[in-house]
Every structure is written in structure tokens, then in C-alpha cells.
Amino acid sequence: MSVDAHDPATKWRVLAAGTLAQTTSALLVGIGAFLIPHLHAADGPYGLGLGQAGAIAAAPTAGLMLTLVAWGTLVDRLGERGILLAGMMLGTFATGAPALAVALRGGTLGATMHPASIAAVLFLAGIAAASANAASGRLVVGWFPAEQRGLAMGLRQMAQPLGVAAAAVVVPVTADHSGVAAVLAVAAAACLASVGVLARWAHDPLRPRAGSTEAIALRRSPYKQGTGLMRVHAAAVLLVVPQFTLWSLAMVWLISDQGFSPLAAGVFVGLTQLAGAAGRVAAGAWSDRAGSRTRPMRIVAIAAVVVMLLLAVADMVGATTVALVVLVAASIITVADNGLAYTAAAEIAGPFWGGRVLGLHNTAQNALASAVPPVAGLVAEQWGFPWVFAGSAVFALLAVPLVPGTITTRQ
């Protein structure tokens, strides 16, 4: 399909398509965390321990983590559009398979699935989600100039909290009323919708002509040009801990410790994620005005330390109202750094390394993030939620000095 690269509307359509794909990716990864109450409920069909349920919740993150670099390598070689389409089609088939199997057997969606089967499907869903993580950011960075890139990437980064918000609202209620297979069928429908939009609006950005002096220079490894990229990676990895702590345990904390119903807890978490989405856009626009991705990132890291410690103290002393207010603030602040770090990494990488660098970036993040649900669940069971919140603040504190003051961009 021909595309007019000079049409101002083209880049915004590309942004919309990439954002939808990333939203679907976040939904796929978020399913596991919001299945925890259903899998853990003593009077439910599974009755798993919090550690066991957390391990299942980590399955999509594990699938994503193990394949991000492979997807990123394909993006650098084949382009973004085809990889996004392939990933979303894989997601459609993987999450739609349980409902199809039920239909072929003449059963109902409410039938109990074996926990290993749930983990396997979620693992495949994570693999599918990885395609968008590796390609959609590179797609947006390639289409927008530097002075608009922070805002554009902030809008694209809204996808993650929006996907999580959708999962928070849809997954617990659907699981309780219709079963896990029904939850997965909803995810399959979202993937199929993404395929349609990507086919219509997604287009690969232009790259320097192969063999040109510029292309030869940009093909050199960005890891050989100072420590800035590694420091961005390291800080972003540490800052993922408070973010995933809230994502994986906020629902359980609201239900078990604060007396929320699953529906009320889902709506509450969903609203905080929407607020987090707006925060990402504001952080991106802030970085455009500041002319820096890393200075705002360091300020966000400091704020994450403060809010997670406040949440721990408020929960420990039983200040419920304060704890809920701080939870909202923490849900905004702990996701605000993602877009800044992601954009910085993409700008350092340039057009011929973007897929691999962003793949490595997200792999490192998810390597640690995949351990957060089961470990945080066990800590909460043994010592209580305040220690989980305080522990995550330590990781944010370690990230502060790692954020580089300046970076050298190649985009």
C-alpha cells in the first residue's frame, strides 16, 4: 500500500496503530496478574496459594522476556509492520485456542482449565505481546521528529496502563462469571482488532539508504559509544520493581486488606491506570520542553522512592484513606519513567539498532519483572504488604544515581 510520508496525518495514524498494538500487548501481559484473585480464592474453582497464582501470573512476562531480542532482531532486518502483524495474529490464535477447544468438545467457557494449561497459553500470549514491545516504539520513533517525539512516545506509552486498566476491569469479573477461557477469548478479540488496524494504518518509517555514509555509521553498535545506554537500561530495570509490585498486588491488597469487592477493586485499579496513562503523556511532553529525557527520568525515580515509602507507612499504621490516595499517586509516578527511558534508548540506538536495543531493554526489565509477582506474593504472605511496598522503594532508590545526566542520540 502506498503512503504519503509528507501527509501530516500519516504519522498520527501510524501512532494510533502502534498504540493500539501496544495496548493489546499490555492487555495480554496483564491478564495473569488480574487472574490472581480468581486463582487464589479459597472458595473458587482453583484455590491456589498466592505464590502459585503469582507464578502463573508471571507466565506472560516470561514469554515476552524470552523472545524480545529475537523479535527486535527481526524488526531491524524486516521492518516494523510485518512483525506487528505476525505478533498480533499469533496472539489471536494462542488466546482463542481454549475457547475453540471448548466449542469443539461441546463444553462451556466456564469449565475449569488446568493451571498448567493456563500458564502455557499465557506464556504464548507473552510471546505474541513481545512483538509490539519490540516494534511499535521503533515505529513511532521513526515517524516523529525529536521535538515531538517525547509527546508521541508518551501517547504510545499510554498503551501500557490502558491495557492494564482494561485487564483490571475485564479480567476479574469475566473470570468469576464466565471462567478463564472466556477471559482469553476477550483477549483474542482484541488481538484480531489490532490486526485489522495495523493492516490499514501501520507503515514502516524511512531509513537512510543502504551503503550510504550515514547508514554505515548508524550500523555501528551504540554500546561502543559510552556508558549512557547501559545506564538507561540499568535504571529502567530497577524502576520496574515498584511498577510491577503495584500491578501484581494492588488488586489482592484492595480485596484482602481493604475489603473491596473484585469489581470495585478492578474499577479502582483501572482508574489509577488511566491516571498513569495521562502521567506518561505529561512526562513525554515535559521531556520535549526540557530538551532531555534523562533529567525528568531522575526526578521521577526520586518521586517513586517517596511514594512507595509513604504507601508502606500508611498501610503499616492503618491509615486507609491516606494509603488509597498514595496508591493513586504511586500508580501514576511509578509508570512515568517508562516512556522516558524507552525513548532515550531508542534515540541512542538509531534506526538500525532500535529493534535489538529496545528488545534488550525490555528483556532486562521483564527478567526482573517476571520475578516480582511470585516473590512479592510470598513476602506479603510472610511479612505483610507494607514490607513489599518498602522493599520496592529500595530498588527505585538504587536507580536514581544510575540515570545519566546527558545522552548522545543517533535518531
Q: Nearest to residue 173, comparing CAs of 101, 98, 251?
A: 251
CA distance 134 to 149: 17
220-233 pLDDT, tens digit per residue, is: 888 888 889 999 99
What confidence tier does 2 reach under pLDDT thresholds 50, 70, 90?
A: low
337, 403 Cβ separation under 8 angstroms? no
Helix axes 228-256, 294-316, angle to 10 degrees: 30
290, 346 Cβ separation under 8 angstroms? no
CA distance 385 to 360: 31
Q: Nearest to residue 26, comparing CAs of 242, 276, 347?
A: 276
Which residue ranges make up each domain of the chain? 8-402
Q: What percent of the chain has pLDDT over 70?
A: 96
Other Cβ atoms less than 10 A from the Cβ of 43: the count is 5
Name the average pLDDT for the chain. Answer: 89
Residue 70: pLDDT over 60: yes
Residue 4: pLDDT over 80: no
Residue 329: pLDDT over 60: yes
The full DSSP string for 288-302 is HHHT-SHHHHHHHHH
Name the CA dihedral angle for 364, 241, 299, 141, rounded to a multiple of 10 degrees. Answer: 40
Burial of 91 (0-12, 13-18, 19+ CB in 10 A): buried
Helix or strand run (H / E) with residue 61: helix 59-78
Residue 325: pLDDT over 90: yes
Class of domain 8-402: mainly alpha
CA-based torsion, 80, 29, 326, 324: positive or negative: positive
Cell numbers describing residue 265 = 477493586
Compute φ and ψ for 356, nearest 5 degrees: -70, -45
CA distance 172 to 321: 24
The mean pLDDT value for 155-181 works out to 87
Burial of 401 (0-12, 13-18, 19+ CB in 10 A): exposed
CA distance 398 to 402: 7
Q: Nearest to residue 258, comparing CAs of 172, 385, 373, 378?
A: 385
Q: What is the pLDDT of residue 258?
A: 83
For cell 478479540, name the residue: 189
The mean pLDDT value for 355-378 works out to 85
Distance of CA 334 to the CA centre of its chain: 12
pLDDT higher for 354 or 399?
399
Give start and end residues of each alpha helix (H) in 224-369.
228-256, 262-290, 294-316, 320-349, 354-369
The full DSSP string for 99-117 is HHHHHHHT--TTSPPPHHH
203-257 pLDDT, tens digit per residue, is: 988 777 766 777 667 778 888 888 899 999 999 999 999 998 987 888 888 888 8
Angle at the Cα of 34 (from 62 to 249), degrees rounded to 5? 85
With a CB cutoff of 8 Å and minimum separation 6, the contacts of 105 are none
The mean pLDDT value for 138-153 works out to 88
